[in-house]
A = this chain, B = another copy of it.
Amino acid sequence: MRYRKIPDETVRRLPAYLRGAMHLSRGGVVSTSSQELAALLGVEPWQIRKDFSYFGDFGTPGVGYDLGHLISRVNKILRLNVGHKTVLVGVGNLGSALLAFPGFRTYGFEIAAAFDIDRRKIGRRKAGVLIEDVAALAGLRARGIQLGILAVPETASQKTAEALVKAGIKGILNFAPRRIAVPRGIKVITIDIAMDLARLPYYVPAG
């Protein structure tokens, strides 16, 4: 079942709710309130209630949200109830950090393949993953991987994204700080680290 017309901003917040709910659940808690979840995540309770209202309210007034139900429901909405194999392109400093990053497993992600252009890296393993020649990216199609992580230099990002799409990739997490053009039906999420840093001074009083 797909849920339609959920605002992107709500989808953006759902993984945080899921992480908070999993955190409480691991601690032995069985139900929570929007107030408790909000305090844990540093957001507003009304925001949580509003976001959850898009999927039908799954809380009970006076009782709150059943955590098992909430986790299972949000996992299904985000399609995280099935594991996802991903491919990494670009095994430089950033790519190496991503390969070693334990956080992906929280949501059922596995970096199952890695590609680079550098002959000195191709054929070696990093964090257990074989680094393959980016020229052979097309061979990826047979391996049933739909999600790609793009950690190549900015100048190579558009070309590499196109190669990923040709190889059957449907969703790309892009670390290059530029807009990438992809065919309709392909989703790109860009993480622009500088843009996150750029909103920090706003909150820091002039010294």
Question: Which residues does chain B contribute within 8 Å of A86, judged by CB atoms?
Answer: 197
Question: Which residues does chain B contribute within 8 Å of A202, judged by CB atoms?
Answer: 11, 14, 77-79
Copies of this polypeptide in the complex = 2
Question: Which residues does chain B contribute within 8 Å of A12, judged by CB atoms?
Answer: 199
For A12, the closest partner residue in chain B by CB is: B199
* Minimum distance in angstroms from A52 CB to a CB of chain B: 15
Q: Does residue A31 face the partner (Cβ distance < 8 Å to B)? A: no
Give residues of chain A (1-30) contacting chain B, Cβ–Cβ below 8 Å.
Answer: 2, 9, 11-12, 14-16, 18-19
A201 in contact with B171 given A15-B195, A107-B194, A109-B194 (CB within 8 Å): yes
A198 with B147: CB separation less than 8 A: no
B199 with A14: CB separation less than 8 A: yes
Q: Does residue A144 face the partner (Cβ distance < 8 Å to B)? A: yes
Q: How far is the CA of A106 from the CA of B2 in the complex (A)?
A: 39
A173 with B201: CB separation less than 8 A: no
Give residues of chain A (63-110) contacting chain B, Cβ–Cβ below 8 Å.
Answer: 77-80, 84, 86, 92-94, 96-98, 100-104, 106-107, 109
Give residues of chain A (161-198) contacting chain B, Cβ–Cβ below 8 Å.
Answer: 170-173, 177, 179, 185, 187, 189, 191-198
Q: How far is the CA of A19 from the CA of B80 in the complex (A)?
A: 32
Question: Which residues does chain B contribute within 8 Å of A98, judged by CB atoms?
Answer: 193
Question: Which residues does chain B contribute within 8 Å of A40, judged by CB atoms?
Answer: 179
A-B contact pairs, 19 of them (CB 8 A): A15-B198, A19-B192, A41-B179, A42-B179, A79-B201, A92-B97, A93-B96, A103-B177, A104-B197, A106-B177, A107-B195, A107-B198, A147-B197, A147-B201, A149-B197, A170-B207, A171-B201, A173-B196, A173-B200
Q: Which A residues are closer than 8 A to B by beta carbons?
A: 2, 9, 11-12, 14-16, 18-19, 40-42, 77-80, 84, 86, 92-94, 96-98, 100-104, 106-107, 109, 144, 146-147, 149, 154, 170-173, 177, 179, 185, 187, 189, 191-207
